[in-house]
Amino acid sequence: MAKPRKAKSAPKPRMSPAHRERLIVEGAIAFFAEVGLEGQTRELAKRLGITQPLLYRYFPSKDDLLERVYEEVYLKRWKPEWEALIADRSLSIGERFRRFEKDYQRTIMTYDWLRIFFSAGLKGTDLPRRYLLRVRDLIFTPVLGEMRREFGLPSPAQLPLCAQEYELMFGIHGALVYVGIRRFIYNMDVPTDQDLVFDTEMDAFLAGVSPVMRRLVAEQQAVQRARRRKS
C-alpha cells in the first residue's frame, strides 16, 4: 500500500501546459455532453480535480473552451477519406454509400458527439447547420451524381439535382441517426446488434432508391419541357 506523503490526502503533481490542456479539453467534452452547455465551470473544475480559476489560465472564457470542444469533436473527427471513398468507382455506388454510412455512423454514434451536437443546435450555434451542409455538399451531392450515372439517368450537369433527391439521402441518413437519438438523447434501449439494424435499413433504401430517382428525374424533365414550350 502506498505511504501517504503527508497527512493531507492527495499529492498534487504539476503538469506541463500541453498535458493539462488535453485533460481539460477531454474533461470538458465529457462534462458538457452530460450536463449540457450551460454546465458550470466550477463543476467542471471539480470533476477535473483542479480549481475553477485554473481553467481561465488555459481558455480566456467559457465560450472559447466550447469552441475548442466543437473543434475537437466535429472538425477533428471528420475523415477526408470519406470523400475519396465516394469517388472510388471500383465499387458500385450502393456499396460505396453503404461503407460510408457504416463508418460515419460508427464515428458519430457516441454519447459525446450526439449530445453536444443537439445542445449546440438548441443553443442557436450554427455548427450543426454548417456541419450538415458539409455532409450534403461533400457526400450527398457526389453520391447522387454517381447514382444518376449508374442508373443511366441524366448527369447533374444536364439536369440539376432536385430537392427531393437530396431528401432521399437525408431520409436514410435520418433513419440511421435516429437510433443514436433514441439511445443517447431519449435514453431508450435500442437493439444490441446495431449492424443488423443498419443492414436492414440500408437494404431497404438501396432497393428503393433507383425507381424513385427514375420517377423524380422523369418529373423534372416534364417540368423542363413544359417550361421550354412556354418560352
Partner DNA sequence: CCGCTCATTTATCAATCTATAAATTAGAGC
Partner DNA sequence: GCTCTAATTTATAGATTGATAAATGAGCGG
Residues lying near DNA in the complex (CB under 7 A) are found at: 12-17, 20, 38-43, 50-54, 56-57, 60-63
> Which residues in 131-162 are b (16+ Cβ under 10 Å) and which e?
beeebeeebbbbbbbbbbeeeebeebeeeebb
| Burial (CB count <10 Å: 0-12, 13-18, 19+), residue 97 | buried
Residue 34 Cβ vs DNA, minimum distance, rounded to whole Å: 14
Closest CB to DNA among 49 and 208? 49
- Pick from DNA, a second copy, none: which does 47 bind, CB < 5 to 8 A by kind? none
Question: Which residue's CB is nearer to DNA, number 31 or number 74?
Answer: 31
Angstrom distance (rounded) from CA 120 to CA 132: 13
Contacted by 181, from DNA, a second copy, none: CB < 5 to 8 Å by type: a second copy
Q: Which CB atom, from 17 or from 124, has the smaller least distance to DNA?
A: 17
Among DNA, a second copy, none, what binds residue 98 when CB lies within 5 to 8 Å by partner kind? none
| Euclidean distance between the first and the last CA atom of the chain, given in angstroms as a whole number | 90
In a 13 Å sphere around the CA of 143, the CA atoms on its Cβ side amount to 29
Q: How far is the CB of 17 from a second copy (least distance, A)?
A: 32
Residue 14 binding: pick among a second copy, DNA, none (C-beta 5-8 Å cut-off by kind): DNA
**In the numeric block, which cell numbers belong to residue 220?**
423534372
Q: How far is the CB of 166 from a second copy (least distance, A)?
A: 8
Other CB atoms within 10 Å distance of the CB of residue 189? 7
CB atoms within 10 A of CB 65: 19
Residue 101: how many other CB atoms lie within 10 Å: 22
Task: Answer with the entry of a second copy, DNA, none that 175 interacts with (C-beta below 5 to 8 A by kind).
Answer: a second copy
- Which residue number, 38 or 193, has a Cβ lying nearer to DNA? 38
Residue 163 binds which entry of a second copy, DNA, none, CB below 5-8 Å type-dependent: a second copy
Which positions lie near a second copy, rule CB under 8 A? Answer: 36, 38, 115, 118-119, 121-124, 126, 128-129, 132-133, 163-164, 167-168, 170-175, 177-179, 181-182, 185-188, 191, 196-197, 200-201, 203-205, 207-209, 212, 216
* Nearest distance, CB of residue 12 and DNA, angstroms: 6
- In terms of CB distance, is 34 or 81 closer to a second copy? 34
